[in-house]
Structure 1
Amino acid sequence: MRVVSPLLLASVVSGATVAAFDAAGLQGIIERRLPQHAGKISFSSLQGGGDSFVVREGNSSGTVSVSCTSTSACARGLYTYLTEVGGVDIFWTGSRLHELQTPLPKVTSPITGASIVPYRYHFNTVTFGYTTAFWDFDQWSLLLDWLALRGVNLPLAWVGFESVLIPTLKEYGLSDAEIADFMSGPAFLPWNRFGNIQGSWAGPLPTQWVEDQAVLQKQILARMLELGMTPILPAFTGFVPRAMATHYPNASIADGSNWDGFPTVYTNDSFLDPAEPLFAQIQRTFLTKQQEAWGNITHFYTLDQYNENDPLSGDTAYLASVASGTLASLRAVDPAAVWVMQGWLFFAAEAFWTSERIEAYLGAVPEPDAMLVLDLYAEAQPQWNRTDSYYGKPWVWCQLHNLGGSLGLAGNLPHIFEGPVDALHANGSTMVGVGNTMEGQEPGNEIVYGALLDQAWSAAPLNVSDYVLKRATRRYLLKEVSPELEEAWSIIGTTIFSNQDPDTQMTIRSIIDLPPALSGLTNLTGVIPTKIPYDTNATLQPAVKLLWQAQQKTPSLRAAPEFAFDLVEFTRQLLANRFLELYSALVGVQSSAVSTAHDVATAGAPLVALLADLEALLQTNEQYLFSAWVRDATRWAHGNATYAAYLEYEARNQLTLWGPDGQIDDYASKQWAGLVGGYYAVRWQAFVDALVDAKTTGQAFNATDFSGKMLQLGKTFDTQRWGTQPNETWGTKGDSFEVVGSILERWT
């Protein structure tokens, strides 16, 4: 293995646009999240390299002083004080920082901290579809404060990309109609940016959407900068409308590969060869327009050309020419440009990306400060170790964890704490950061994402038991946790969130939200894992019961929103696991040669009953409302009913059919109230009815016919409008504690 010079690691860091120390941005967090303490916490700059902080008592009585080497380090120092001394925290479900006591808790001795890596990264390109597609700035503001306080300093910033790309394409002669044929709908733009899909099966991307997202991006970037973050902005990738080949017949433009079985009209995106002079010209136009729109605020550019796309050739010389041409186009505009790429391709297409091809592709970027690779799935399928630390390129240890934004509880805290530390100190390592690259971020698994960012500020691996217990104490605003809570979180932390099986440590899928079938649903691993890696009766069930007992003995827990959320979340997972058991029993009865239609109906009834209870449970908490997703989407219509219907279709289709005809149906499924009762329960009732009919007639279950009916059901559901079906309400309904109590009586 190579011994890497420290100068190499320093060089990529020098590529950042380091914001000047900004106390105003830090005071903004205080004004937003704990305004009663405005003026009581001060910030100052420290001399020195890296990111470090010191928290002390202030010069005046009742004040606190945070000194740091960077704005990001000060934000982390503030977070350390708030959590370790103040006992409050901020979560994806909301902030509890405003409950910090008055007067400020004293700092009895200085608190110091330092990041073990220069970069703390957040986001996956597709998070901008699965999670933030319809967010407004209030939602972004909460997440950006969460990121800043955790110490994130290098976030991806994809919003508003089309507002720069569209005028760029127009400048090269493409008409509005030709561009419209290329752009995807709002819920699917990340995959258009990746070159996976083109066009929209819902209709052209509205101009109003493009304009609104540009305004939102300006707000996001301004907040990122004031919080000490360096945004990663997009660059021109080479994916162009098909009409580009007509306008430039002599340019090397080829159609790419098919993606996930989509019809050709919606995939096989055209790709302009980066070796072409036209590529560099368009890149210059794009980056220039982007600087005009957002300012000269970064040297980091995200650019992925082969995300689940096959290169036109496996020839190493060709791959090298693509990489060298791409970098040259960036550095011709920005001499300090850093090309940021997701390393997912090296895992997802491992058969193609041999060591020889990877080395040729990365090796065509000889400058050590010109590229930053995100090892996207390092927690389970790391690529840094098989590529000799990406052949000397600086890289970031990332946690993917979640595919499609599914809700199932899972994680590997031991490896999250140990893996980055081990990789950082591996011989020849060129690791320069850690990051979260979840496809979708759902609050039930927030613990694993926060854990990785916390590990970035500890030279030694954190302790799992200690970590989860301290987090629970802050989460519920307790001085100390009860024996019931301690035992519950000990079980949860050491089983559900300590799963070290790489095949199942991603978010576990429930078969509830997969298309019903007689086979092929259980014990799946990989992209859609349905195998439950723990004994439900020995782990999850007692944990839920202990949480229930804790609030009975400590009624004040009912006032903690995070406790109510956790109780609903773990009960939701318990019901999802129970459903799998009931399904297996139903399949067994159906396959029996001596069973009757009555037997099948009897075995199927509990599945439908459980889904009714699950729907009632989810209705009690605002984090589980399908109506909220729809409302987030349709508010961008500004009262235009036609536009609102378009946006609602986009929102529904992503969660259900994901394509015009179910190309990757239920990949982005969610156990949300309204979706469970209005869609999944309807499918499972139809499945039970079909099995009963098969037994009654003595015929085999017709899987093909049933699949066709489910596709039509999905299309019908996707074109509905919220509020047109019985019992559809926008807000919550029922009491979480009452519903959980009744569920525990029936299903444990």
Structure 2
Amino acid sequence: MHANPVNDLLERLDKGASRHFIIEKVKADADFFELDSRNGKIVVRGNNYVNLAAGVNWYLKYYAHVNISWNNMNVKLPNVLPEVKKAERHETNMKFRYDLNYCTHSYSMAFWDWERWEKEIDWMALHGINMPLSIVGTEAVWFNVLKKLGYNRDEINEFICGPGFFAWWLMNNLEGWGGPNPDSWYTQRIALQKKIVKRMRELGIEPVFAGYSGMVPNNAKEKLQLNVSNPGLWCGYRRPAFLQPTDPKFKVIADLYYEEMTRLFGKANYYSMDPFHEGGNVAGVNLDEAGKAIMSAMKKCNPNAIWVAQAWGGNPRAEMIKNLKRGDMIVLDLFSESRPQWGDPESTWYRKNGFDGHDWLYCMLLNYGGNVGLHGKMQHVIDEYFKAKSTPFGQTLKGVGITMEGIENNPVMYELLCELPWHNEKFSKDEWLKDYVTSRYGRFDKSLYDAWIQLSNSIYNCPALSTQQGTHESVFCARPSDKVYQVSSWSEMNDYYDPMEVIEAARKFMSVADNFIGNNNYEYDMVDILRQAIAEKGRLVYKVMMSAKNAKEKELFEEASKRFMNLLDMQDKLLGTRAEFCLGTWTNRAVNLGKTQEEKNLYEWNAKVQITTWGNRTAANDGGLRDYAHREWSGLLKDFYAMRWRTYIDNVISNWNSAKDNQIDYYSLEEKWVNSPIHYSPDTKGNPVKVAKDISKQIF
């Protein structure tokens, strides 16, 4: 056993790596790390294990040119590590570095096992994260609480959601969808969360648990004789009820909840609570009393605990937090890069008083629904952080957060955001990208740098005032129609960049492919950037299809449609070369968690429905949820998206001379695929560079 957990982390990255480092934990008033050399070894000094891990990562990036990323968590360090010739020190007063969104736990992490979680916790530590949302197993807490309140197993499972939908259940948006869960699910989640929390605490990472904020099952009014309000519907689903804080049983149920949470996982110093999330009706609720009751219940469990709240839409309600003691709450400004609420007057979600003097974190949301696609506001994210620091609201700015709905995408943007606390002065993306390219690929390459500059000035340069929800969505993933633009209901997409810039950047990337064969980071980025270029081509060819249809040029429509479907097929083949872009990686994680065939089928169904229809017919079509979590993935492109497009194209051609096309019931087609017994392999096919080169010849 090593003397400290940072050495263990180094061993997990590369066996034997810890012998090259001297890790020194020292007391200090400020958060810091320091790099130095002594007797041929690298000295990393810091005031806690997370900052030491962040120091190790800084050294790996800026000295050893090794980039640790979701696609690259096992690395090979050089036998002789570069010396730190002059001691380097980084301090920060950004005490809190937050990670995750409730949605991340469902859109990316729903079916993770311990092996994958272990890598993620290492990633967090290396990126300086010290307070991640840690909600695995909360369903088991609820199961036990409801049992104590007199609910039987079936009634409990009508309330608790299935594995693909826990995020929205915990955010009080819906109940029951995707279930019922087998008993083994709860046992499994308790064991997994215990491992997660143990490792986090070993590394000095403080988990943020889900606290109690008044959620009860819809039937609690009758069954438990409670005074509840009805928060209404969410995207066609009935929300859970809200227990009025004035009801004497609020304290009783909150106490039961915290006792059970503590019994299973220990006490946390941070609890996350977001009542009235996304339009929850507050009619008849005394918000001031609600805030005080929620805070009081948490403080009874742990007097030192801090309430963590997400600033999203109208939350947290000003009336709910204004009379709470400053220092007892941290507000996550969830979408700081596009809709800041900290007090920026240019924001569409402007709050004149910010968070009324409560501490807050500058967060980047970036990704919605786990959608695949290049996206970001690279320079703007830097500028806004330093701008926020310089305003009066900077006095209560206590850190940063990454609050994406889905991870394992756009690693460049998360790398950038996680570095912000360790930079004391504003810097330019262009200079930062020089170092990023060098560490990402192990050496500097001008063609790759030029490609990244081109991307950073186009697709990664989403306008400051844009409020679009993540990536410019791929037309391949859209439900077909004569007027396809965005894929998901709320994306607010705009054509803010020239697609030819992305295609040109992909060409530059491909021009050096032979020099980087076998380089994991290069091959991941090459596939991702070429994927984006093919998606851009697809959108351009779709426009030709529609022009031909409107001009009644049948031959041209057929020709353009054939080209469109060929591009979609190329996309599927390209993405099949990397496990990160394979549907089978996602569905197999789900299947592998099942102990019986019935369980395997339930989890796989959850995995498939979440990324397609999302909900039942009402929620998918009328509630707008269908394709919200669409993924440009191999397997899904070939069998799901291509199936929809073929149906549409065949329908147009067969109705060419009629006044109106036949209406297609897409939901019935989608549901058929979701319920089909087809299983997808996680195995990749083909060499990424070879396949990419073949495709490049066809699109450039």
Question: Is the shorter-chain TM-score for this pair beyond 0.5, marking a shared fold?
Answer: yes
Equivalence for 1:259: 234
CA RMSD of aligned residues (A): 1.9
1:578 aligns with 2:537: yes
513, 537, 553: which one pairs with 1:551? 513
Contact 1:465 1:494 (C-alpha < 8 Å) held by counterparts: no
Query: For residues 205 and 50 of structure 2, what CA distance do their matches in structure 1 show?
Result: 7
Contact 1:174 1:244 (C-alpha < 8 Å) held by counterparts: no
Contact 2:137 2:186 (C-alpha < 8 Å) held by counterparts: yes
Contact 2:101 2:403 (C-alpha < 8 Å) held by counterparts: yes
Distance change (3 Å), C-alpha of 1:745 and 1:134: same
Contact 2:104 2:406 (C-alpha < 8 Å) held by counterparts: yes
Equivalence for 1:67: 45
Equivalence for 2:503: 541
Contact 1:476 1:562 (C-alpha < 8 Å) held by counterparts: yes
Q: Deviations over 1:238-297 (max 9, x none)?
A: 221233222322x211322111123xxxx232111123221111111111121121123x
Contact 1:343 1:374 (C-alpha < 8 Å) held by counterparts: yes
TM-aligned CA deviation for residue 524 of structure 1: 8.5
1:741 aligns with 2:693: yes
Query: For residues 505 and 527 of structure 2, what CA distance do their matches in structure 1 show?
Result: 12
Determine what percentage of the aligned residue pairs are the same residue. 26
SS of residue in 2 equivalent to 1:99: coil
TM-aligned CA deviation for residue 532 of structure 1: 3.5
612, 627, 640: which one pairs with 1:656? 612
1:669 aligns with 2:634: no
TM-aligned CA deviation for residue 137 of structure 1: 1.4
The range that moved more, 523-532 or 416-425, is 523-532
Equivalence for 1:612: 569
Contact 2:23 2:44 (C-alpha < 8 Å) held by counterparts: yes
Equivalence for 2:647: 686
133, 136, 139: which one pairs with 1:162? 139
Query: For residues 413 and 667 of structure 1, what CA distance do their matches in structure 2 show?
Result: 24
Distance change (3 Å), C-alpha of 1:549 and 1:598: closer
SS of residue in 1 equivalent to 2:313: helix
Q: Deviations over 1:447-483 (max 9, x none)?
A: 11111110111111232012222112112112x32x3
Query: For residues 747 and 428 of structure 1, what CA distance do their matches in structure 2 show?
Result: 49
Query: For residues 505 and 363 of structure 1, what CA distance do their matches in structure 2 show?
Result: 29
Equivalence for 2:309: 341
Equivalence for 2:593: 636
Equivalence for 2:221: 245
Question: 1:495-574 counterparts in 2 under 5 A?
Answer: 495-501=458-464, 502-504=466-468, 506-519=470-483, 521-522=484-485, 527-537=490-500, 539-552=501-514, 554=515, 557-574=516-533
SS of residue in 2 equivalent to 1:271: strand
Equivalence for 1:207: 183
1:438 aligns with 2:404: yes
TM-aligned CA deviation for residue 597 of structure 1: 4.1
247, 261, 278: which one pairs with 1:276? 247
Equivalence for 1:700: 660
SS of residue in 1 equivalent to 2:512: helix
Q: Deviations over 1:350-409 (max 9, x none)?
A: xxx8xxxx43221131x1121111110010110111242311011111111111010111
Distance change (3 Å), C-alpha of 1:272 and 1:471: same
Equivalence for 1:82: 60
Distance change (3 Å), C-alpha of 1:415 and 1:505: farther
TM-aligned CA deviation for residue 591 of structure 1: 1.9
492, 503, 507: which one pairs with 2:455? 492
373, 376, 382: which one pairs with 2:334? 376
User: 2:125 is aligned with what amino acid?
Assistant: A
Contact 1:23 1:43 (C-alpha < 8 Å) held by counterparts: no
Contact 2:469 2:491 (C-alpha < 8 Å) held by counterparts: no
TM-aligned CA deviation for residue 210 of structure 1: 1.4
Equivalence for 1:117: 94
User: 2:631 is aligned with what amino acid?
Assistant: K
Aligned residue-pair number: 685
Query: For residues 613 and 462 of structure 2, what CA distance do their matches in structure 1 show?
Result: 30
Distance change (3 Å), C-alpha of 1:342 and 1:505: closer
Query: For residues 258 and 732 of structure 1, what CA distance do their matches in structure 2 show?
Result: 42
1:149 aligns with 2:126: yes
Provide structure 2 residue ranges, at least 5 long, that are not aligned to the other structure: 344-350
Equivalence for 2:81: 104
Query: For residues 486 and 692 of structure 1, what CA distance do their matches in structure 2 show?
Result: 45
User: 1:108 is aligned with what amino acid?
Assistant: K
Distance change (3 Å), C-alpha of 1:558 and 1:529: farther
TM-aligned CA deviation for residue 225 of structure 1: 1.0
544, 549, 555: which one pairs with 1:590? 549
Q: Deviations over 1:49-77 (max 9, x none)?
A: 1211222223xx22222221222211111
Q: Deviations over 1:669-726 (max 9, x none)?
A: 1011100000000100111111112214x13124xx31x2x11111111112334xxx
SS of residue in 1 equivalent to 2:252: helix
Contact 2:377 2:462 (C-alpha < 8 Å) held by counterparts: yes
Contact 2:106 2:164 (C-alpha < 8 Å) held by counterparts: yes
Q: Deviations over 1:334-360 (max 9, x none)?
A: 22221111011327xxxxx8xxxx432
TM-aligned CA deviation for residue 739 of structure 1: 2.2
Distance change (3 Å), C-alpha of 1:116 and 1:722: farther
Equivalence for 1:174: 151
Q: Deviations over 1:550-594 (max 9, x none)?
A: 124x2xx012011111111111111111111111121222222xx
TM-aligned CA deviation for residue 329 of structure 1: 1.5
Query: For residues 449 and 687 of structure 1, what CA distance do their matches in structure 2 show?
Result: 38
Provide structure 1 residue ranges, at least 5 long, that are not aligned to the other structure: 1-21, 348-352
